[in-house]
A and B are shown apart, each in its own frame.
Chain A
């Protein structure tokens, strides 16, 4: 290590938030949402700034795992492009508070990544990602009948409501219900398993645990393929985009 070239780059990114030193090793324990507390939080969400979100995508290192414009390059990280702004906002809040935890080594990077964020930062990212577009799926896919039925009709015998009734017929999501169209299949499966086994509990009243508990592994796999191959439906007027 003889010759050293020191490049001190002074950032001009104006993210104002500073790191608060977290105390303790484990994830904080956060209160679960109720409809009332969430509604108030959603109402108080700052107006997102697309340009600030775009800067934070790099400055906050989101881009290193979630890819450029929120299109994930590996099976590990979910696509963020085109998800609803409220879902992304809530996910960031839940990671920061520790409500979205999923067990040791499952959310600690996202907890670290969101620790420096202000609510404004989260809103900015949420609006930025909501305005990005996922590419159309490639290849031919015909959904098996039982999977198509789960999506559109559900399964009354197992008290499973149709996926589409909350996530939309195009898997486009709504408010805090995430978009599923074009999602990374490995992430989809991991998430469904986490709901099923009670590892992911940050949804209001833990509704997803009830819908997933009777799904078989094969059905979860089938749904992952279904949604990965579903053409994402992009909003005609993305929020915040000029």
Chain B
């Protein structure tokens, strides 16, 4: 964090930004630089991309948690539409603009295919381990 450029933009002046963007710091590669790096190598597979989502959306997108919706079995077109909405930063989100901004159309489509073919069922039965028994029990009515 050596060079800091502070732009204090009142929302009244955000016509140069596309939307009421999230309150955020960005850094590292610019999106243009990112796209260039991306274009120099074959596209990562849908599974490679999609498996990065599992910490929040569950293994193969099959976690039926509260804050992050399951992606397993999601309709392909719905997934694509929603990812593109996030990527365009049309409205504020918790993290999904931050996550979606780096993906190409083709990558979004590959992830959509990957998730569409996963079973829309909770990843494991609620016996996943003894120490979190209470939690599993709470979730078991689904």
A residues apposed to B, CB below 8 Å: 1-12, 58-59, 61, 63-65, 68, 73-77, 103-109, 190, 193-194, 197, 199
9 more CB-based (< 8 A) A-B contacts, given A4-B25, A194-B141: A3-B2, A61-B92, A61-B93, A64-B93, A76-B70, A104-B139, A105-B65, A105-B66, A109-B66
With contact pairs A58-B92, A74-B70 given, residues A105 and B138 touching in the complex (Cβ less than 8 Å): yes
A7 and B8 CA atoms in complex are apart in Å by 6
Expressed in whole angstroms, the minimum distance between the Cβ of B37 and any Cβ of chain A is 15
- A2 to chain B: which residues have CB within 8 Å? 1-3, 27-28
- B21 to chain A: which residues have CB within 8 Å? 7, 9
Pair B27/A1 contact, Cβ less than 8 Å? yes
- A194 to chain B: which residues have CB within 8 Å? 141
Pair A64/B94 contact, Cβ less than 8 Å? yes
A199 and B14 CA atoms in complex are apart in Å by 45
Chain B interface size range? 35 or more
Expressed in whole angstroms, the minimum distance between the Cβ of B63 and any Cβ of chain A is 10
A1 and B139 CA atoms in complex are apart in Å by 39
B residues apposed to A, CB below 8 Å: 1-12, 14, 17, 20-21, 23-28, 64-67, 69-70, 74, 78, 81-82, 85, 90-94, 96, 120, 134-135, 138-139, 141-142
Pair A12/B12 contact, Cβ less than 8 Å? yes
A1 and B135 CA atoms in complex are apart in Å by 37
A108 and B68 CA atoms in complex are apart in Å by 12
Q: Which residue of B lies closest to A198 (CB)?
A: B141
Pair A5/B91 contact, Cβ less than 8 Å? no
Pair B91/A58 contact, Cβ less than 8 Å? yes
Pair B66/A199 contact, Cβ less than 8 Å? no
Pair B3/A4 contact, Cβ less than 8 Å? yes
Q: Which residue of A lies closest to B17 (CB)?
A: A7
A7 and B23 CA atoms in complex are apart in Å by 7
With contact pairs A2-B27, A3-B28, A193-B141 given, residues A64 and B11 touching in the complex (Cβ less than 8 Å): no
With contact pairs A3-B28, A64-B93, A74-B69 given, residues A103 and B5 touching in the complex (Cβ less than 8 Å): no
